[in-house]
């Protein structure tokens, strides 16, 4: 009797668990709905309210006008996006349309997870986006994403402090040289105030991207196509300027070196830093958090022998190789990136569109919030130097980040920095290029 | 030790305890403070603990921008189911492991504890493929299954300790009195194990409530996502954050854990007293 009661209890528990599992379970995803409608999943990484709203509104507009191809908006997250996508690809569950950044695409493109878009892209889109932007998503001759938003690094400055100091205000037409910039930060430094705060918690991309202005490339291709690191004259300019501002002139705040961009804003608003070099989209936070009456302006980053050139890794839209409806997915991308729509997306994210027609929109040329300065820099933007180099993530984490952090803090000199970046770095790259 | 010295020592102990509690509470207090600050105060160089112009705007914005209530419901379902299933499975397993000690039992215990050290990224792809075969991707059931599997080793290890603390003599006495194995387990052992079971359930609940990566990978549609995943929607690339709404949402996300803990902690201490064995 006891045994049968225990058995019944176990059976009931197992049945309850099975029911629970079945009840919570969702059905398998399919490329078509029950009525034959094509269903596409679009995973967006938009996160700011205006940007999410713009994306959702565009999806709704598409769905209203394309009853045969319906798009489901899926909210993704920048946090762990690479691992999340990798798992989805491996498991055969990837979204049809994928939002990511160009510097994250190389592994997916070489791994065969993304569709080569060359035969699918409409001429309108191909022609509208400049070749230099396409090169950020071109791997081994194939195009694996449509670059659509990009973000230069700019100097956000406290207008009042600059005005009082009497320094020349730079423009995209007449920017500061790196040397002049160093001189200016010395002049702006005073009692309880630094001329600049470099937020260099992640120093590698800033160093490489701004280094382009002085002709720095660091990564070179040998005749056999293999990537090799060389530390040349142009590669020294940007890091040496920061190093000297921190260590010699004391015009850059040492404490800011370990900060992220957001961390520097309270000091900037409080008058502790006259300028902060930040990504263009940080203007949104500045506009939202600046104290009442605080005047700020957007200035171009310093220029070198190559003018205002700097590296960027645009945001991209790709199509999964396993998607059964690649043609329709590209049609949706084409719709999403029509010039007027690209402008909506750019304004929502406080970034620059890659498309030339969108870039010409008057809404992006206003002086308000520094839009005009940003659009004036667009022509100078280049692909980030290392994004197509295999082994770059390991070089960045294991070699370049600690070496640059030590150099900027003054723990090592330029000689040791060069030795570590080049010798240790080439050893890392060699493993990926055997 | 005279009365005066004893009093001073006790005061010192309380002071140390208070400092420790404050230290533990600091992040939470800062979170609460941030949640009620307007955007302009968030950018202040001299932030204050108490908001100068407290506002509910961050909460309003958080609710407007993200489906927090639905996500909280999903998290609660996943965490409660995971906790319940974990203890239902782990309790008999722990009993067997604790009472029938042998080489196999020791090896099994060792293996389940070692399995805790596997990084998420190592197991996520095979796990994803298994769940796909079972049609459990994008379902809370699949997520619950993962949470149960993930919590089981540690739950088993915890409960085994509790079972070992119950003197076998009590079960032997029950057997002498004529109770069968099942009756002994239900009437004698289980009540003494209650605090352990509650503590284990709490552990499984909090693990599932806070878990992010599995939920991110396994749940696709917004209406199925859990709170930790929805919280990351307030974060942009390179760690940029919409700090006010993020703090407001994170503050709300911590409340259920606190409530569950507050409800259960009395049961834990009550159970501990009930489990005391007197000679």
For chain B, helix, strand, coil in percent to 5 are 80, 0, 20
Q: Measured between beta carbons, which residues in chain B are less than 8 angstroms from residue A288?
A: 39
Contact assignment for B221 to A72 by CB distance below 8 Å: yes
A87-111 pLDDT, tens digit per residue, is: 899 888 899 999 999 988 988 998 9
Residue B114 is predicted with a pLDDT of 79
Q: Measured between beta carbons, which residues in chain B are less than 8 angstroms from residue A49?
A: 61, 64-65, 242
Contact assignment for B235 to A77 by CB distance below 8 Å: yes
Which chain B residue is nearest to residue A283, measuring alpha carbons? Answer: B240
Which chain B residue is nearest to residue A7, measuring alpha carbons? Answer: B182
Output the six-digit token pair for A326.
């690649």
Nearest to A162 by CA among A323, A299, A315: A299
Which chain B residue is nearest to residue A28, measuring alpha carbons? Answer: B135
Q: How far is B87 from chain A (nearest CA, A)?
A: 13
Q: Measured between beta carbons, which residues in chain A are less than 8 angstroms from residue B121?
A: 83
Residue A131 has pLDDT above 90, yes or no: yes
Shortest CB distance from A6 goes to which of B85, B182, B243? B182
Domains for chain A: give ranges and CATH numbers.
14-150+313-383 (3.40.190.10), 153-300+390-432 (3.40.190.10)
Residue A20 has pLDDT above 50, yes or no: no
Residue B2 is predicted with a pLDDT of 67
Residue of B129, B179, B220, B230 to mutate, interface with A, max A Cβ within 10 Å: B220
Residue A26 is predicted with a pLDDT of 39
Distance of CA A69 to the CA centre of its chain: 30
Residue A18 is predicted with a pLDDT of 44
**ipTM of the prediction:** 0.77
Output the six-digit token pair for A409.
């803090």
Task: Give residues with Cβ within 8 angstroms of A185, minimum separation 6.
Answer: A194, A195, A196, A245, A249, A251, A252, A274, A275
Q: How far is A200 from chain B (nearest CA, A)?
A: 12
Residue B88 and residue B83: Cα distance in Å, rounded? 9
Residue B179 is predicted with a pLDDT of 83
Contact assignment for B217 to A26 by CB distance below 8 Å: no
Q: List residues bridging with A252 in a β-sheet.
A: A196
Which chain A residue is nearest to residue B77, measuring alpha carbons? Answer: A24
Residue A283 is predicted with a pLDDT of 95
pLDDT above 90 covers a percentage of chain A that reads: 79
Residue B109 and residue B94: Cα distance in Å, rounded? 9
Residue B106 is predicted with a pLDDT of 77
Grouping H, G, I as helix, E, B as strand and the rest as coil, residue A100 is strand
Number of C-alpha atoms within 13 angstroms, CB side, residue A245?
Answer: 31
Number of other CB atoms surrounding residue A351 within 10 Å: 24
Nearest to B78 by CA among B262, B248, B214: B214
Distance of CA A248 to the CA centre of its chain: 32
Q: What order do you get walking across the sheet with A315-319 strand by strand?
A: A69-75, A38-44, A97-101, A315-319, A146-150, A352-353
Residue A5's pLDDT band, with cuts at 50, 70 and 90, is very low
| Residue B49: φ, ψ to 5° | -70, -40
Q: Please tell me if residue A12 touches chain B, with a CB cutoff of 8 Å.
A: no
Residue A2's pLDDT band, with cuts at 50, 70 and 90, is very low
Pairing mode, strands A97-101 and A38-44: parallel
For residues B179 and B188, the answer to whether their CB atoms sit within 8 Å is yes
Distance of CA A2 to the CA centre of its chain: 66
Alpha-carbon distances, residue B92 vs A14, A333, B96, B193, B205 (angstroms): 14, 55, 6, 11, 19
| Residue B225: φ, ψ to 5° | -70, 150
Residue B129 and residue B117: Cα distance in Å, rounded? 21
* Per-residue tens of pLDDT for chain B, all 279 residues: 567 778 888 899 999 999 988 888 898 999 999 999 998 888 787 888 899 889 999 999 999 988 999 999 999 999 999 999 999 999 988 888 888 877 877 787 777 777 777 777 778 888 888 998 898 988 999 999 999 988 888 898 888 888 888 888 888 888 888 888 888 888 888 888 888 898 899 889 999 999 999 999 899 888 899 999 999 989 887 778 888 999 999 999 988 888 877 877 766 665 554 444 444
23-62 in A: which are within 8 Å (CB) of B? 23-29, 41, 45, 47-49, 52
Q: Measured between beta carbons, which residues in chain A are less than 8 angstroms from residue B125?
A: 86-87, 90-91
State chain A's mean pLDDT as an integer: 90
Q: How far is B146 from chain A (nearest CA, A)?
A: 12
For residues A146 and A370, the answer to whether their CB atoms sit within 8 Å is no
Contact assignment for A88 to B132 by CB distance below 8 Å: no
Residue A13 is predicted with a pLDDT of 46
For residues B199 and A65, the answer to whether their CB atoms sit within 8 Å is no
Shortest CB distance from B141 goes to which of A25, A92, A285? A25
Which whole number is the average pLDDT over A162-170? 95
pTM of full prediction above 0.90: no
Output the six-digit token pair for B85.
């299933």
Which whole number is the average pLDDT over A409-428? 95
A284-336 pLDDT, tens digit per residue, is: 999 988 998 999 999 999 999 999 999 999 999 999 999 999 999 999 999 99
Which chain B residue is nearest to residue A205, measuring alpha carbons? Answer: B238
Residue B268 is predicted with a pLDDT of 64
Residue A25 is predicted with a pLDDT of 40
Q: E strand or H helix at A47, and its extent?
A: none
């Amino acid at each position: 009797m006891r045994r049968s009661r225990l058995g019944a209890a176990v059976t009931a528990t197992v049945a309850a668990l099975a029911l629970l599992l079945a009840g919570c379970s969702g059905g398998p995803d399919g490329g078509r709905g029950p009525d034959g409608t094509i269903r596409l999943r679009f995973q967006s990484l938009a996160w700011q309210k205006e940007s999410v709203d713009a994306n959702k509104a565009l999806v709704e507009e598409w769905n209203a006008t394309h009853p045969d191809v319906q798009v489901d908006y899926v909210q993704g997250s920048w946090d762990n996006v690479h691992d999340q996508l990798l798992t989805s690809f491996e498991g055969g569950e990837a979204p049809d349309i994928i939002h990511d950044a160009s510097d994250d695409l190389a592994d997916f493109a070489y791994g065969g997870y993304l569709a080569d878009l060359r035969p699918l892209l409409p001429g309108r889109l191909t022609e509208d986006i400049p070749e230099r932007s396409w090169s950020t998503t071109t791997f081994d001759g194939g195009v694996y994403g449509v670059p659509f938003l990009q973000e230069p690094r700019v100097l956000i400055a406290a207008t009042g402090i600059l005005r009082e100091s009497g320094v020349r205000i730079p423009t995209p037409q007449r920017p500061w040289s790196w040397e002049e910039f160093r001189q200016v930060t010395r002049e702006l430094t005073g009692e309880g105030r630094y001329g600049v705060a470099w937020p260099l918690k992640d120093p590698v991309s800033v160093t490489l991207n701004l280094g382009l202005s002085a002709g720095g490339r660091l990564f070179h291709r040998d005749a056999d196509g293999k990537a090799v690191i060389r530390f040349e004259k142009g590669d020294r300019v940007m890091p040496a300027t920061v190093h000297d501002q921190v260590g010699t002139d004391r015009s850059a705040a040492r404490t800011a070196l370990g900060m992220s961009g957001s961390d520097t804003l309270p000091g900037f608003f409080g008058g502790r830093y006259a300028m902060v070099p930040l990504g263009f989209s940080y203007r949104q936070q500045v506009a939202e958090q600046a104290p009442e009456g605080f005047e700020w302006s957007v200035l171009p980053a310093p220029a070198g022998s190559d003018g205002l050139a700097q590296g960027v890794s645009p945001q991209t839209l790709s199509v999964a190789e396993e998607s059964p409806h690649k043609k329709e997915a590209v049609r949706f991308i084409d719709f999403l990136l029509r010039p007027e729509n690209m402008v909506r997306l750019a304004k929502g994210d406080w970034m620059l569109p890659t498309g030339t027609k969108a870039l010409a929109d008057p809404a992006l040329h206003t002086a308000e919030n520094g839009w005009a300065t940003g659009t004036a820099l667009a022509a100078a933007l280049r692909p980030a130097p290392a994004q197509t180099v295999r082994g770059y993530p390991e070089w960045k984490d294991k070699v370049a980040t600690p070496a640059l952090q030590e150099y900027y803090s003054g723990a090592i000199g330029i000689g040791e920095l060069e030795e570590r970046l080049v010798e240790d770095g080439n050893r890392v790259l060699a493993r990926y290029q055997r | 030790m005279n009365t005066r010295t004893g009093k001073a020592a006790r005061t010192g102990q309380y002071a140390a305890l208070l400092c420790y509690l404050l230290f533990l509470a600091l992040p939470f207090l800062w979170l609460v403070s941030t949640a009620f600050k307007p955007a302009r105060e968030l950018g202040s160089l001299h932030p204050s603990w108490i908001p100068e112009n407290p506002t509910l705007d961050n909460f309003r914005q958080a609710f407007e921008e993200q489906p927090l209530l639905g996500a909280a419901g999903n998290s609660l379902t996943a965490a409660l189911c995971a906790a319940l299933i974990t203890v239902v499975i782990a309790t008999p397993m722990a009993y067997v492991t604790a009472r029938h000690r042998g080489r196999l039992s020791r090896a099994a215990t060792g293996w389940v504890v070692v399995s805790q050290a596997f990084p998420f990224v190592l197991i996520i792809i095979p796990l994803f493929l298994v769940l796909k075969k079972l049609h459990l991707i994008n379902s809370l059931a699949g997520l619950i299954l993962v949470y149960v599997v993930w919590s089981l080793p540690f739950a088993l290890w915890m409960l085994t300790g509790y079972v070992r603390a119950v003197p076998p003599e009590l079960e032997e006495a029950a057997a002498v009195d004529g109770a069968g194995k099942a009756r002994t387990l239900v009437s004698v052992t289980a009540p003494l194990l209650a605090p352990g079971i509650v503590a284990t359930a709490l552990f499984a609940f909090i693990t599932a409530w806070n878990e992010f990566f599995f939920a991110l990978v396994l749940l696709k549609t917004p209406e199925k996502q859990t709170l930790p995943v929805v919280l990351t929607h307030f974060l942009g690339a390179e760690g940029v954050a919409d700090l006010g709404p993020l703090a407001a949402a994170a503050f709300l996300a911590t409340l259920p854990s606190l409530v569950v803990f507050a409800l259960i902690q009395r049961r834990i201490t009550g159970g501990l007293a009930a489990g005391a064995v007197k000679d």
